[in-house]
């Protein structure tokens, strides 16, 4: 059995938990756990496994905003967002960092886009207002990799 936890960052404590059965996953446990919580006025952060329009719709319906990792599991939105962000990358606000250590250097570029009018897939994602693109370049003795 695995446990799904709700962590309240400001209070530094777990605010709720649900057991995840062996024949299910977080995608079914998250909506059930959300029904037990008052998230109104909060920012709910979710891992990519919860990147489902129904889950974020439930968060928004409960009066909260969300931050969620978008990966290929939300195929249409991922493809449209990737193309949209990369085509506009040179014009978007960016923050860059460089970390060195452990025999490697990592350069990250974070870009933010709030102009989502051209993304048809956004209509299926309640409350979606901003996309963030994180580009990572890892430099090692073996060469450069893009993550």
Q: What is the DSSP letter of 81?
A: H
Task: Confirm if 57 and 35 have CB atoms less than 8 A apart.
Answer: no
Length of the chain: 147
* Residue 105 shares a structural domain with residue 48: no
In sequence order, the 6+-apart residues with CB closer than 8 A to the CB of 145 are: 137, 138
* Residue 39 shares a structural domain with residue 92: no
* Residue 78 shares a structural domain with residue 147: yes
| Digitized pLDDT (tens) for each residue of the chain, 147 residues in all | 788 888 888 888 888 888 887 777 788 888 988 998 899 999 999 888 889 999 999 999 999 999 999 888 889 999 999 999 999 999 999 999 999 998 899 999 999 999 999 899 999 999 999 999 999 999 998 889 988
* Residue 54 shares a structural domain with residue 93: no
* Residue 113 shares a structural domain with residue 64: no
Does this model's pTM top 0.85?
no
Output the pLDDT for position 106.
Answer: 95
* Residue 57 shares a structural domain with residue 92: no
Task: Confirm if 94 and 109 have CB atoms less than 8 A apart.
Answer: yes
Domain of residue 108, residue span: 74-147
């Amino acid at each position: 059995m695995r446990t799904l936890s709700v962590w309240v960052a400001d209070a530094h404590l777990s605010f709720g938990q649900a057991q995840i059965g062996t024949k299910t996953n977080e995608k079914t446990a998250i909506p059930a756990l959300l029904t037990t919580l008052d998230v109104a006025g909060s920012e709910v952060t979710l891992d990519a496994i919860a990147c489902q329009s129904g889950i974020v719709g439930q968060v928004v319906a409960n009066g909260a905003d969300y931050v969620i990792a978008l990966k290929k599991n939300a195929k249409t939105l991922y493809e449209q967002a990737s193309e949209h962000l990369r085509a506009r990358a040179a014009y978007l606000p960016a923050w860059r960092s460089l970390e060195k250590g452990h025999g490697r250097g990592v350069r990250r570029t974070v870009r933010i886009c709030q102009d989502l009018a051209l993304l048809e897939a956004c209509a299926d994602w309640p409350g979606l207002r901003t996309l963030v693109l994180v580009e990572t370049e890892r430099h090692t003795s073996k060469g450069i990799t893009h993550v």
